[in-house]
Amino acid sequence: MNLTIGAVILAAGEGKRLKLDAPKPLAPCLDKKLVDFPIREIQKFFNQNKLTGIKTAVIGHQRELVQTYISKRYPDVKYAVQERQLGTADALRAYFDSDPSTHKLDYTLVICADTPVVSEAELTKMLELLQSEKMDAVAATFQDPTPKGYGRIIRGKKGFHIVEEKDATDDQRKITEVNSGLYLLKTSYVLENLKSVDSNNKSGEFYLTDIFKDGLNVDALCFPHGNVFLGVNNLEQLEQVETILRAQKIVQLREDGVRFIDSNHAYIDDEVEIGAGTLIYPNVFISGKSKIGKNVIIEMGAQIKDSVVADNARILAYTILEEAKIHEKAHIGPFARMRPGADIGPEAKIGNFVEIKKSVLDRGAKVSHLSYVGDAFIGEETNIGCGFITCNYDGANKHITRIGKNSFIGSDSQTIAPVTIGDDCFVASATTVTKNMPDGSFAISRGHQTTKEGMAKKFIKVKEKM
Ligand code: UD1
Ligand code: CA
């Protein structure tokens, strides 16, 4: 039995109350946009239930921006344009008008772009009910003791209908079972019932909710946890959904063996992977496609984005990693900044106030204090002293510094790139390395010291008396 589904993402709305420059579907949510969530869950729903079909976003407000964003990430999503937002039924008409092949799909799934907590699990439950009870249409509902703004569910002996809050009587407003806005419908049923939907209501809108009727073969599936349907209409709700999504991620990580000192203050985005035995301190942010290994320690205030941290590494307090790769047992920080292309070898040590960019450090290399390393290769077990700088930029171009293995670079030294220092070299403190150094060589470029007895007083300034 190969079911076909037309998945419709309602994304034409404006989202004025969010007060963002972007249209609502592109409002930020964790490290993504709102619209990413339903698209991704639809994808999972299709895979989970071996469904095929068409995914369509109904777009309207700032539609070029929305379409550009979606098409870059999800090339299989199609679009239906709703010129004016005349209501949710009108949005669905725009969808069916956009592509006649959508009429032939078995079911039509309707999901809003602004409910990012809805997951594949809810969609699958609806599909199961629809199939087992041979229903024509299912609406997802939930109980809300203070149901402000939602359509109310009025159940009949058979079937049910929905009354929008604006059109409800005082008694109907007291009903606490509300409409989530998520529907799974037989396509033939919705096509038939859309025909009669009019705009004779307080809002003058075409309500999709009017396709549900008493006496028909339709059902309202009431979900126990209403917060999965929380819609984002203002910034408070945005914060609420982000908190829910993060909490779900923490639960899942904990099940996988990740330990938190205070999970209420750990901010871990959705696609991040973390291995068992890893310990996360408070105020840690991990985002993007970061991958953290097993038994890693991540101390407070660390920010990790699109980076890989291997097993048994340690990220000390207030360290920032961006597109960096940290190998096994390396220690980074505290207060270190690993910029894109930093590749820190196994057992290497990076200390405080060290910035590393586009550089590969081999096993056991050490840069322990106050240094900048950019566009460099540093060999195994080489030790870089305090205050070292790769002068990699000549004002127009970047150049490379190469330092071999087992070398010692004294404090307060610089390399004027391009330059190469061999293996087993020794660079004296305060040296500016401008020429290549062969293996085993020593370099010093420090000025000679002259000491004049008693001469200091000539230079010591005395405060003038007023
Ligand atoms: C809708 C439901 C209400 C339900 C609530 C849940 C109707 C008539 N009412 O109300 O029963 O409790 O959702 O949140 O459907 N949209 C379009 N084009 C339009 C109108 C809306 O694409 O012309 C999109 C919006 O961008 C949004 C979604 O449809 O993503 C829901 O529209 P909205 O106006 O927010 O409906 P509600 O009044 O919240
Ligand atoms: Ca809404």
257-443 and 4-235 share a CATH fold:
no
pTM: predicted TM-score of the whole model, two decimal places: 0.87
Q: What's the pLDDT score for residue 14?
A: 79
Ligand nearest to the CA of 141: 1
DSSP label at 200?
-
Domains of the chain by residue range: 4-235, 257-443
User: Is residue 151 within 6 Å of ligand 1 at its C-beta?
Assistant: yes
pLDDT score for 1 = 62
Mean pLDDT by 10 residues, the chain (466 residues): 92 85 93 96 97 97 96 98 95 97 98 96 96 94 93 96 97 97 98 96 96 96 94 93 96 98 96 97 97 98 98 98 98 98 98 98 98 98 98 94 98 98 98 98 95 93 76
Query: Residue 37 and residue 9: Cα distance in Å, rounded?
Result: 11
DSSP string, 61-76: TTHHHHHHHHHHH-TT
DSSP 47: H
User: Are the C-beta atoms of 278 and 295 separated by less than 8 Å?
Assistant: yes
What torsion do the CA atoms of 383, 387, 390, 393 make, to the nearest 10 degrees? Answer: 170
Quote the ligand 1 centre to 103 CA distance (angstroms): 22
Helix H or strand E segment including 297: strand 297-298
Q: How far apart are the first and last CA of the chain?
A: 99
The 3-class secondary structure across 213-280, one letter per residue, is CECCCEEEEEECCHHHHCCCCCHHHHHHHHHHHHHHHHHHHHHCCCEECCHHHEEECCCCEECCCCEE
β-pairing, 177-186 with 137-143? antiparallel
Q: Which of 61, 369, 399, 448 is catalytic?
A: 369
Please name which of 123, 102, 342, 341 lies closest in space to residue 333, comparing C-alpha atoms. Answer: 342
- Pocket of ligand 1 contains residue 53 by CB under 6 Å: no
- 82 CB near ligand 1 (under 6 Å): yes
Ligand 1 mean position to 169 CA, how many Å?
Answer: 20
- Sorted by sequence, the CB contacts under 8 Å of residue 273 that are 6+ apart come out as 290, 291, 292
The predicted structure's pLDDT at residue 288: 94
Ligand 2 centroid to 135 CA: how many Å? 26
Q: Which residues surround ligand 2, an ion (CB under 5 A)?
A: 231
Q: Hey, which of 24, 88, 193, 208 would you mutate to test ligand 1's pocket, going by the most ligand atoms within 8 Å of its Cβ?
A: 88
Q: Is position 399 annotated as part of the catalytic site?
A: no
* Closest to 97 measured CA to CA, from 114, 83, 109, 107: 83
Query: Which two structure tokens, joined as six digits, stand for 446?
Result: 């420090």
**Ligand 1 pocket residue status of 8, Cβ below 6 Å:** no
Q: What's the pLDDT score for residue 296?
A: 98
Question: Does 257-443 carry CATH code 3.30.465.10?
Answer: no
For residue 87, the ligand closest to its alpha carbon is 1
Q: Is 309 helix (H, G, I), strand (E, B) or coil?
A: strand
Answer yes or no: is the C-beta of 115 below 6 A from any ligand 1 atom: no
Atom of ligand 1 nearest to the CA of 12: 22
CA 336 to centroid of chain Cα atoms? 23
- Residue 201: per-residue pLDDT: 95
> Which CATH architecture best describes the domain 4-235?
Alpha-Beta Complex (3.90)
- Tell me if residue 192 falls in helix, strand or coil: helix
177 CB within 6 A, ligand 1: no
Residue 18 is predicted with a pLDDT of: 86
Q: Which DSSP string do the residues of 85-130 spell out, in sequence order?
A: ---HHHHHHHHHHH-GGGGGSSEEEEEETT-TT--HHHHHHHHHHH
